[in-house]
């Protein structure tokens, strides 16, 4: 467990209270298992607003225990001072002889975290400090999450920008060649740049569509219509899109789905799932290969198994499969285009249905995906 010591400032004009709180908290250790932290305090004390002002200039405090009535002012004034001058995260507990509601509300408005009414004993102090310490650690953790979120978003956008810029650069380079008549005056000489430019545009369109699919799944703001779907029908539509590519490579797509197999699910999600799986199984297959797709219902589970006879995935590449924009780069995949988002989309859909996805693969032999979705 991590030992952490936090600075705590007690502000009270009564010597007895300052000494009492110091005695209660100076050897007090609080264990927070959830945060893997043992927390203790280094206690400072001040008898007036003026003294406190000087101390907070010299030290950073995470916790304050402040008496409302001070000889040269009041606790609210001190809270306002903290709001103005202190940038670090802190929590303040206010002490008062009178627990009147207006005072409590006013203190809370000025940022007081908790309120203790005099007279109080060691237990009240310990319990108030415990609450404050726990909340403090929560705030810290929240801040870390926020920072992580920003970093992940930044990374995502940087990669996306790169992915969008590469095709634009490629197309612009080809256009520059054409503009400069570098391959002569005949348009026929420019077939290759034209074909490549069109390919890059198609890839970019696929990336944009995949990106829209991905955000569609991630955002919960859309209406998620659940309806009865015939899986066979979805498969038929999917085959219509991928049969041409399969034919080019002489790949046979077999599927075993009960014609009457009906599931309650969101149509566009199931279409995305099936399309992405079939598309990968065809793209990463070898010439004359096969794709076998089976779907069956077991209780509340829809089990899908898709097996291809393709290039396979190396062991150490498997854990990268579902990451956004991760594409396995090697000799076998260099001529296969993809957005790098297909399997992230599949994974997100599987998560929507509280399902699971497993991969078995052997390089050069093929890949098998096991998918299980909970279909209520």
Partner 1 sequence: MAKILCIDDELDVLESCSTILKSKGHIIKCAGNGTDGYKEALNFKPDLIILDVMMDSHTDGFHAAYQFRNNEKLKNIPILMLTSINQISKLKFNKEKDGQFLPVDEFMEKPIVPQKLLAEVDRLLGLKEENINREGVKNVY
Q: Which residue has the tokens 């002569």?
A: 184
How far is the C-alpha of 76 from the C-alpha of 110, rounded, in Å?
Answer: 7
How far is the C-alpha of 191 from the C-alpha of 188, rounded, in Å?
Answer: 6
Preceding peptide of 3 cis, ω within 30°: no
270 phi/psi in degrees, rounded to 5: -65, -35
* Rg of the chain taking only CA atoms, in angstroms: 32
How far is the C-alpha of 7 from the C-alpha of 45, rounded, in Å?
Answer: 11
- Looking at the Cβ atoms of 145 and 154, the one nearer to partner 1 is 154
Q: Are 349 and 334 in contact (CB under 8 A)?
A: no
358 phi/psi in degrees, rounded to 5: -130, 150
Q: Are 295 and 303 in contact (CB under 8 A)?
A: yes
- Looking at the Cβ atoms of 5 and 195, the one nearer to partner 1 is 195
How far is the C-alpha of 327 from the C-alpha of 322, rounded, in Å?
Answer: 9
Shortest separation between residue 166's beta carbon and partner 1, angstroms? 6
- Looking at the Cβ atoms of 199 and 290, the one nearer to partner 1 is 199
Shortest separation between residue 170's beta carbon and partner 1, angstroms? 4
- Looking at the Cβ atoms of 158 and 319, the one nearer to partner 1 is 158
Shortest separation between residue 147's beta carbon and partner 1, angstroms? 17
Shortest separation between residue 283's beta carbon and partner 1, angstroms? 16
- Looking at the Cβ atoms of 18 and 200, the one nearer to partner 1 is 200
Neighbours of 337 (CB within 10 A): 14
- Looking at the Cβ atoms of 241 and 330, the one nearer to partner 1 is 330
Neighbours of 278 (CB within 10 A): 24
Shortest separation between residue 155's beta carbon and partner 1, angstroms? 8
How far is the C-alpha of 289 from the C-alpha of 68, rounded, in Å?
Answer: 80
Shortest separation between residue 367's beta carbon and partner 1, angstroms? 22
Given the rule CB under 8 A, which residues bind partner 1? 155, 158-159, 161-162, 165-166, 168-170, 172-174, 176-177, 180, 182-183, 192-193, 196, 200, 329, 334-335
The CA-atom distances, in angstroms, between 203 and each of 77, 136, 188, 214, 323 are: 62, 48, 24, 16, 19
User: What DSSP string describes 77-136?
Assistant: HHHHHHHHH--S--EEEEEES---HHHHHHHHHTTEEEEEESS--HHHHHHHHHHHHHHH
Shortest separation between residue 287's beta carbon and partner 1, angstroms? 20
- Looking at the Cβ atoms of 78 and 174, the one nearer to partner 1 is 174
Shortest separation between residue 323's beta carbon and partner 1, angstroms? 14
- Looking at the Cβ atoms of 109 and 198, the one nearer to partner 1 is 198
- Looking at the Cβ atoms of 105 and 168, the one nearer to partner 1 is 168
Shortest separation between residue 329's beta carbon and partner 1, angstroms? 6
Neighbours of 259 (CB within 10 A): 8
């Amino acid at each position: 467990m991590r030992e952490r010591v936090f600075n705590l400032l007690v502000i009270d004009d009564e010597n007895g209270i300052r000494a009492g709180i110091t005695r209660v908290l100076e050897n007090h250790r609080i264990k927070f298992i959830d945060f893997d932290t043992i927390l203790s305090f280094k206690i400072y004390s001040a008898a007036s607003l003026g003294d406190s002002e000087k101390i907070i200039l010299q030290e950073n405090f995470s916790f304050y225990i402040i008496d409302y009535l001070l000889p040269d002012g009041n606790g609210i004034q001190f809270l306002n001072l903290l709001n103005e001058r202190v940038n670090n995260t802190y929590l303040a507990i206010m002490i008062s002889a009178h627990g009147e509601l207006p005072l409590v509300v006013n203190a809370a408005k000025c940022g007081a975290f908790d309120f203790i009414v005099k007279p109080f004993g060691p237990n009240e102090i310990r319990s108030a400090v415990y609450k404050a310490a726990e909340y403090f650690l929560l705030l810290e953790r929240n801040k870390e999450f926020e920072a992580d979120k920003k970093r992940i978003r930044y990374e995502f956008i940087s990669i996306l920008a790169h992915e969008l810029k590469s095709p634009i650069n490629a197309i612009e380079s080809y256009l520059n060649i054409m503009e400069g008549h570098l391959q002569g005056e005949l348009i026929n000489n420019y077939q290759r740049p034209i074909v490549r430019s069109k390919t890059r545009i198609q890839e970019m369109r696929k990336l944009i569509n995949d990106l829209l699919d991905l955000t569609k799944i991630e955002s919960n703001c859309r209406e998620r219509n659940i309806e009865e779907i015939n899986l066979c029908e979805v498969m038929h539509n999917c085959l219509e899109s991928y049969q041409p590519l399969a034919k080019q490579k002489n790949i046979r797509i077999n599927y075993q789905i009960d014609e009457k197999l009906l599931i309650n699910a969101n149509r566009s999600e199931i279409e995305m799932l099936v399309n992405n799986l079939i598309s990968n199984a065809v793209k990463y297959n070898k010439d004359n290969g096969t794709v076998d797709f089976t779907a069956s219902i077991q209780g509340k589970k829809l089990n899908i198994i898709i097996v291809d006879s393709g290039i396979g995935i190396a062991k150490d590449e498997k854990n990268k499969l579902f990451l956004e924009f991760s594409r396995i780069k090697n000799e076998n995949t260099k001529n296969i285009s993809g957005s790098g988002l297909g399997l992230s989309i599949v994974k997100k859909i599987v998560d929507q249905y509280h399902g699971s996805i497993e991969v078995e693969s052997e390089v050069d032999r093929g890949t098998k995906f096991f998918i299980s979705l909970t279909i209520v």
